[in-house]
Structure 1
Amino acid sequence: MSVRRLVGKVACVTASTDGIGFAIARRLAQEGARVVISSRKQDNVNKAMEAFKKENFDIYGTVCHVSKSEDRKRLLDETIQKYGKLDILVSNAAISPSFGNILDTPESAWDKIFDVNVKAAFFLIKEAIPYLEKQKGSSIVVVSSIAGYTPMELIGAYSVSKTALLGLTKALVNPCQEKGIRINGIAPGIIKTKFSKALWEGGEDTDTKTASFAGCAMGRVGTSEECASAVAFLVSNDASYVTGETIVVAGGMPSHL
């Protein structure tokens, strides 16, 4: 990686031991940032740290279940204890425990989805702001989804939670700007990760077939690295006049005008 836009920055990325979150953490580290990664499970943290050590990145890993206030506090406390500051927060944690017709989604699933995907995202941001406002050029990125614009039939409740994140990003623009913090988002399309496996697996040429079926103009599924590139731009000085926006990383899938 020849671009080094984030030298001297400290970033914290939730749900970052696999998939999109892992790629984001890796890209930020490649660009010079010191990065704190997290997962709900210690085993996941250990595996990710082993992978990062091979690349000699300055990365610290810890356990964090974002829906638990004590875990969020510990995540931020350990970030400050380890690196002394926080410049970048990437809220990536999300779950989708229900799969099928939205009308069949039980109340318990709605509660879990909104607790993790929306409520926890808001409180993590709120709790991080006192640290972020101390740094010049700090920023937040919220990971939403193309499903927030065009709900997917089999993950309806999850889609609604991602729509809420689009609104949350907009709602936080002025409160964050008053403290010198930019906030933006990305909305990934169908990305080849374990999380979205049910959406793209199933055949020899699944990448093209699934993406085309979903209305993807580029005719393929995306990669986690392509999402990470958008995040790296948003948290860099190259995006210094960008706030309140969500970049759709979905190969041309329908979103907004």
Structure 2
Amino acid sequence: MTVAGKGRLSGKRAVVTGAGSGIGRASAVLFALEGASVVAVDRVEDAVDETAAMIRANGGTVLSVAADVGDEESVKTFINLSVEKHGGLDVVYANAGISGGLVPLGEQSVEYWLEILRINLIGPFLAIKHASPIMAKQGFGSIVCTASVAGLRANAGGLPYSASKAGVISLVQTSANELYGTGVRVNAVCPGLIETGMTKPIFDNARARGTEGKIGQLNPLKRNGVPEEIANMALFLASDEASYVNGQAFAVDGGLSSTHPFSGKR
């Protein structure tokens, strides 16, 4: 599903977080195939090193970094690494995130919420905070964040996860306006049900029950998505092809969010 090798990011310097698996890995590999020099970031060192090895095997340029995207010093370090080692920064894909919230509301702790918000919302904020001054100085740049259809309306995720992703959508809109006149664009991708490491339990449970054929049945395409389909949207937003796209959140969900499907809990 990935169309690569057209040089759509030729000469650009990109940072991709959550690059150790799933959407982040697919995006880091695709960005490199399209000509970007990539800094691949993930909290799991072995996983992000594996992504880097895949990129190098295809002749790409990459540095791999194990880091916590919710820690400000770590974010400054990997943002500055692109400048120091690759000569600049043109693209940031703040993709890293964690799931959570399927615990009943009454059993959710403040600490549980804080950790999800720290990674899913504070992480993109820190990426924008530290990447945008570099991009503004050169007069251009693209920041892409992973939100979710769960941030658009209810019943696509747990409470803290959904709230964090709604926050990402607002962050993208407000940041785009905060960066008025700088030439820096900020947009979001809102994936639907994508088979990744984060969603693996959903798919494993369905297969164990023999209901795999029902996965994705609530959207008009009647299927789940794959990481490469999200990576393709992220590539578009990162590229100059999206030069007049700013402050937007794009659902890539098979049409799920075009309506209000709902399955009762009782």
Q: Percent identity?
A: 32
Query: Does the aligned pair in 2 maintain the 1:150–1:255 contact within 8 Å?
Result: no
SS at match of 1:254: helix
What is the rounded CA distance, in whole Å, between the counterparts of 2:63 and 2:223 in structure 1? 34
Amino acid of the structure 2 residue aligned with 1:84: G
SS at match of 1:161: helix
CA 169–255 in structure 1, closer or farther in 2 if over 3 Å, else same = farther
State the 1:207 CA deviation.
Answer: 5.0
Task: Give the counterpart of 1:105 among 98, 102, 108.
Answer: 108
SS at match of 2:216: helix
Aligned to 2:243: 240
CA 250–58 in structure 1, closer or farther in 2 if over 3 Å, else same = same
State the 1:134 CA deviation.
Answer: 2.9
2:50 is aligned with 1:56: no
In the alignment of these two chains, the number of paired residues is 255
Aligned to 2:207: 203
Aligned counterparts, 1:59-208, within 5 A: 59-152=62-155, 155-201=158-204, 202-203=206-207, 206=211, 208=213
Deviates more, 1:201-210 or 1:132-141: 201-210
* Structure 2: tracts of 5 or more residues without a match: 261-266
CA 48–159 in structure 1, closer or farther in 2 if over 3 Å, else same = same
2:223 is aligned with 1:220: yes
Q: Deviations over 1:21-42 (max 9, x none)?
A: 1111111111111111011122
Query: Does the aligned pair in 2 maintain the 1:101–1:153 contact within 8 Å?
Result: no
Query: Does the aligned pair in 1 maintain the 2:42–2:66 contact within 8 Å?
Result: yes
What is the rounded CA distance, in whole Å, between the counterparts of 1:50 and 1:117 in structure 2? 26
Q: Deviations over 1:151-205 (max 9, x none)?
A: 3366221011101111111111112232210111100000011111123332287
SS at match of 2:63: strand
State the 1:120 CA deviation.
Answer: 2.3
What is the rounded CA distance, in whole Å, between the counterparts of 2:157 and 2:56 in structure 1? 38
State the 1:127 CA deviation.
Answer: 1.1
Query: Does the aligned pair in 2 maintain the 1:207–1:221 contact within 8 Å?
Result: no
Amino acid of the structure 1 residue aligned with 2:115: K
Task: Give the counterpart of 1:33 among 36, 39, 45.
Answer: 36
* Structure 1: tracts of 5 or more residues without a match: none
Amino acid of the structure 1 residue aligned with 2:21: D
Deviates more, 1:240-249 or 1:144-153: 144-153
What is the rounded CA distance, in whole Å, between the counterparts of 1:102 and 1:154 in structure 2? 13
SS at match of 1:172: helix
Let me know the Cα RMSD of the aligned residues.
Answer: 1.9
